[in-house]
Structure 1
Amino acid sequence: MKENYKKIIAFMLIMLCFTCDDYLEILPEGQENSESYFNSKSDYEDALIGVYDLLSTTYLNNILGEIASDNALAGGGDATDVLDWQQIDDMTHTADNGALRNIFQWMYAGISRANYIVEFKDKTDFEGKDQLLAENLFLRSYYYFELVKFFGDVPMYLDGRISIEQSQSIDRTPKAEIYAQLEQDLMLAIESLPWEQAQNGRATKGAALALLGKIYLYQGDKWSNAATTLDRVINSGQYELVSDFSTIFLNSNENNQESVFEVQYTGVEGGGFGCFQCVEGNVAVGFMGPRFTSGNFAPYTSGFSFNVPVPELYNAYSAEDPRRDATIFDIEAFVETRPTVQYNDGHEYTGYFNKKYIPYAEDNAGDVNLTHSNNYRAIRYSDVLLMAAEAYNKGGIDDAKARTYTNLVRNRVGLDDITSSGGNLTQEIAMERRLELAGEGHRFFDQVRTGQTSTIPGFKDRNVLFPIPRIEIELAGNRWIQNDGY
């Protein structure tokens, strides 16, 4: 899908979007009217590309999920470099945090685009329509789940494009109701999605099942539902663990057999610092690389030194666990082998960087800090195994099965089986999730949903949720109540 992923579609320019402060009411000459669109299969396909398009903005969700946790510090050039991220790292963020507003806007932009298809879903029939609508429901569910993870109760729009008028007449929807809607939508989507797609990056039955299982898991009382749903992914035979963990995140090994859902990026330009949502590359990658200044540091290239792993994470791995050196880039060890290499320490220097999404030297266009083509592995098979293990254990369903799934992940990297049960097994599964998924944006939300937040510096009770952006509350006519503590 990379070659089409950011395709410019004329009708997107006239979509009413609640995430915009203003919009044009006069249709430019020669531009197609949105009400007369959706007359052919290609119209629907182009619209769906527009829904996939906003997945590129989830680079920010990924990076904030790490720096808000106990895995990493914000880093950067100094204490004011991308201040929004520094505040989230320090747990001093407010409702005026720009990064949080970006997430709120971008996820709703994706939802509004999905709702555009929903609004006109009955207008034209064509072969393959059920599958297209199922992909659309998956994507809308993905965006809503991200919003609930960050903000809790959020307004839920289902039937059409989001207008400013709507936003001023609808209240925040309890997250339990949102989860119930996502369960319904995903179960419907699962029926029409294939196990395999001809084009990389498109939603599959396995991706929808995995997301549904995750939604059950996050509710904390649907362990049996989560276990049964995730077992459908595991028993499908569609996925397997990559034998060599160190190769999973290489650009040459994208969309591999462990990938359940992967956000596609490409090195084409598309945008810049003034429009991060327009960029076709993985913005997070350039921001997370070491600040190399000279010497031979191939195959890598320089970055802005954000999202630096802490020594506690590095030391949490056993010396024989190959995931440590495949997850965390030890720049001092690297320089010992490359004496010509020079670099700047940067703010909150730990000597470590995120190796899973380290910037590689490549033929990318425009500002090379923004157009790295590293795909984001949004849902991996190992994540599915560990979620299923957690569900079987916490639900008191089957500790033996929980151990089996956990040990599959451990054995892949040559580690011995665990043999614990009950609460001890719960803690071992949680640790396995941290070590397996470090650097992938899941840690903060795992800590919050399991109540394991005591190791997050500066964390207070209010930080279980992020604040609804103040300006969005104002644009909605001040009808939304802010999250507690903000």
Structure 2
Amino acid sequence: MDPEYTQDAENFFNTPEDFNRAIIGVYDMMQPAYLNIWIGEIASDNSIAGGESVNDTQGLHEIQNMTHGGVNEELRAVMRVNYTGIARANYIFEHQDKIDFPGKDLILAEARMIRAYFYFNLVMYFGDMPLIIDRRISINEISSTVRTPKAEIYAQIESDLRAAIPVLPATVSEIGRMTSGAAKALLGKVLLYQNKFSDAATVLGELIDNNTGGYGLFQDYSTMFLVVNQNVNEDVFTIQFSGLQGGDYGCLICLNGNAAVGFHGIRQYEGPFYADGNSYNLPTQDLYDEFDEGDLRREATVLDIEAFIAAQPNPSEISYAIGGGGHTGFYNNKYIKRADERGLPDDDLTSPLNYRVIRWADVLLMAAEAFQRSGNDARARTELNKVRARVQMPAINATGDALYQAILRERRLELSGEGYRFWDLVRTGQAAGRISGFVPGRHELFPIPQVEIDLAGGNWSQNPGY
């Protein structure tokens, strides 16, 4: 939430270029995607925090151990980043009537979709949150702003997306701009997360059946997460990154590159293909063991460092270090620093590897779940088995709950390392059985940062159990 009077609108929003600059500023606040990758994996059974020590990004270690509370830098960053993005979108809506020009409706549709994405992040993490629409609020208003019930926030998210879908184009010439397909996929996800299975099946089924965006499953899963294979048919909703600097360790949200990639890299690595990094977000043995023998997604998802070294022609010349924050022997092989994909100049922070917020396989699996839960097992199997066929895994012929559980397991096999796992476990009621230390009634939500409660004059109650 921007302080009062920090921006002067008198000399802005007077030209189409001003509106375009403003929407670029909204897009910019999607860049801290590393937070979702880290927290969505580390809070789950998929990975541990890792890093140099347990005091290195302490908040991630607390999240891993389910000991997090109201003082947590990562959770505060989640709240601040998303509300900053909302304020930037609302700034456009404050002044939407100042001038008219061709293409303004498209800019407003983009703003609606991205605002929906920011609010979806907030409601996933924190539940009830202040809902501020079409205007910014001053610092003086915060203490009188109450937390809005999450059902109302979801209603606004749905409204924004349904308004954006008919305006956004199916395809774009400028890579990274929002499309109607991305908005439909996000709407389907939002509906699924509310257990509106029939509505989700309708939206996602229509996206699949009327595939005007040309989406599909990228043929080679094993190379899909290389930089050379981004912005392909698999990519439905993607956050774009570049290898330019932009920021530094003092301002990770200022970066132009994907910070997760360097942080996931192998500590002090010297050898082929990969490059050194900070050994964060390390996959667990439990995740590695979940894959069936012959499922090529295992190696594409989880780098077994010792097996990789042993398979090289010069294993004795390859070395790496183990961080004090934990070591599993595994690394996130989807978002990892590779030798020929480094940005400049500080390549820990400047990866050009995009973050796939929603890809086509996720759309198919969300559709499979929505169809199964709304009584259409046959259509659910169709979508599920498309995903399995891509990686040469046998078709599943189950029905009822066995099919439902197969779909949830397939989500883990297909999407691990991408930041979805914690939310899948929570929304399907499986978190307590899978996450060590998870307390039902508390850990479904994260705590409101205490500093934000203080800034609100104590007007916001803390989430239960914290």
Q: TM-score, normalised by structure 1?
A: 0.92
CA distance in 2, matches of 1:128, 1:416: 47
- The aligned counterpart of 1:166 is 141
Deviation of 1:356 after TM superposition, in Å, equals 0.3
CA distance in 1, matches of 2:9, 2:36: 30
- The aligned counterpart of 2:210 is 236
- 1:433 is matched with which residue: 389, 411, 430? 411
CA distance in 2, matches of 1:469, 1:404: 43
Percent identity of the aligned residues? Answer: 50
- The answer (yes or no) to whether the contact 1:268–1:280 under 8 Å persists in 2 is yes
- The aligned counterpart of 1:342 is 319
CA distance in 2, matches of 1:239, 1:212: 17
Letter in 2 for 1:114: A
Alignment pair present for 1:131 and 2:106? yes
CA distance in 1, matches of 2:269, 2:44: 29
Deviation of 1:386 after TM superposition, in Å, equals 0.4
Relative to structure 2, which stretch is displaced further, 239-248 or 433-442?
A: 239-248
- The aligned counterpart of 2:246 is 270
CA distance in 2, matches of 1:167, 1:176: 21
Alignment pair present for 1:374 and 2:363? no
- 2:277 is matched with which residue: 291, 299, 303? 303
- 1:482 is matched with which residue: 455, 459, 462? 462
CA distance in 2, matches of 1:115, 1:66: 31
Alignment pair present for 1:252 and 2:231? no
Kindly provide the CA deviation profile for residues 72-107 of structure 1, in whole angstroms up to 9, marking residues without a partner as x.
011112222210110000000010111100000000
- The aligned counterpart of 2:294 is 320
- The aligned counterpart of 1:403 is 381
Alignment pair present for 1:72 and 2:51? no
Kindly provide the CA deviation profile for residues 241-260 of structure 1, in whole angstroms up to 9, marking residues without a partner as x.
01111121110011110100
- The answer (yes or no) to whether the contact 1:239–1:258 under 8 Å persists in 2 is yes
- The aligned counterpart of 1:180 is 155
Deviation of 1:343 after TM superposition, in Å, equals 0.6
1:357-372 matched pairs, under 5 angstroms:
357-361=335-339, 362-372=341-351
Kindly provide the CA deviation profile for residues 389-441 of structure 1, in whole angstroms up to 9, marking residues without a partner as x.
10111122x10000000000000100111000111111000000000000000
1:217-232 matched pairs, under 5 angstroms:
217-220=192-195, 222-232=196-206
CA distance in 2, matches of 1:451, 1:248: 31
CA distance in 1, matches of 2:385, 2:78: 35
- The answer (yes or no) to whether the contact 1:164–1:476 under 8 Å persists in 2 is no
Letter in 1 for 2:265: G
Kindly provide the CA deviation profile for residues 176-216 of structure 1, in whole angstroms up to 9, marking residues without a partner as x.
01111111111010010010011111110000000111110
- The aligned counterpart of 1:202 is 177
1:105-120 matched pairs, under 5 angstroms:
105-120=80-95
Letter in 1 for 2:291: Y
- The answer (yes or no) to whether the contact 1:111–1:143 under 8 Å persists in 2 is yes
TM superposition outliers: structure 1 runs of 4+ over 3 Å: none
Letter in 2 for 1:394: R
Q: TM-score, normalised by structure 2?
A: 0.96
- The answer (yes or no) to whether the contact 1:48–1:136 under 8 Å persists in 2 is yes
- 2:21 is matched with which residue: 30, 35, 46? 46
What secondary structure sits across from 2:48 in the alignment? strand
- The answer (yes or no) to whether the contact 1:292–1:341 under 8 Å persists in 2 is no
